[in-house]
Amino acid sequence: MPSTGPKEQEQGKFRLSDDLILVGEKAASREELLGKLAGLLGQKGYVKESFLQALLEREKAYPTGLQTSIMGVAIPHTDTEHVVKPALAIATLKEPLPFRAMDNPQKEIPVELVIVMAIKEPSMQLKSLQKIMEILQDEKMLSKIRQAQNAGEILAALEKHFADEGCDSDVGVKH
């Protein structure tokens, strides 16, 4: 897909970029990890300063850990008011981190993949959200992401998955 550069991304699409992807990340806690991912989103202007606090509170009240067929995945997200432009920040973990299960907060799931979703307009992003949710059921895709050695590999896999609906990517473009 040709790079769209720094010009306005199409409404409703999540921005994907190799500098929003962390591979084989080590973090002592999920708070630390979410802090890093929210930091990346903040530096690039995708989210407001209030995003991290809101993300942590939302995760506490409504956890997002999901046990998929091959590994634990968390999809933290929060209210749209803390988001400037839609984007995804992604981390694969060297050592799994415990996230509480979405349908049972008493249960912890060892999570190896975290996808922070900065959602701006849920109704316009429905298609994109669905493409993200499809990843959870796609074993091939999940294992490709888990095995990736660098951000570029994850980006390439995701770009293929989203084809040209769902996400804009700007690999290589510096802001």
Partner 1 sequence: MKRVKILVVCGSGVATSMHAAYKLREYLEKENLNVSIDGCGNNELPYRAESYDIIVSNAQVTVDLGKPVFSAVPLLTGIGEKELVQQIADTVRKIGTDGQNSNNK
- Residue 80 CB contacts under 8 Å (≥ 6 apart), including other chains: 119, 120, 121, 122
Q: Is 8 in the site for partner 1 (CB under 8 A)?
A: no
Q: Between 69 and 149, whose beta carbon lies closer to partner 1?
A: 69
Where in 58-77 is the site for partner 1 (CB under 8 A)?
Answer: 58, 61-62, 64, 66-69, 75, 77
**Alpha helical stretches, state H, 81-150:** 126-136, 139-147
- Quickly list H helices, 2-65: 30-43, 51-61
Give CA–CA dist 147/149, Å, rounded.
6
How far apart, in Å, are the Cα atoms of 158 and each of 48, 92, 127? 25, 14, 15
Work out whether 133 is an interface residue with partner 1 (CB under 8 A).
yes
What is the closest distance, in whole angstroms, from the C-beta atom of residue 144 to partner 1 in the complex? Answer: 17
How many residues bind to partner 1 according to rule CB under 8 A? 26
How many H-runs (helices) and E-runs (strands) does the chain carry?
A: 5, 7
- Considering only 56, 124, 136, 171, the residue that binds partner 1 (CB under 8 A) is 136
Q: Is 79 in the site for partner 1 (CB under 8 A)?
A: yes
Strand 87-101 to 72-74 pairing: unpaired
Binding test (CB under 8 A) with partner 1, winner from 27, 74, 119, 145: 119
Instruction: Output 73 or 151, the one with its CB closest to partner 1.
Output: 73
Site for partner 1, rule CB under 8 A: 58, 61-62, 64, 66-69, 75, 77-80, 102-105, 117, 119, 122, 126, 129-130, 133, 136-137
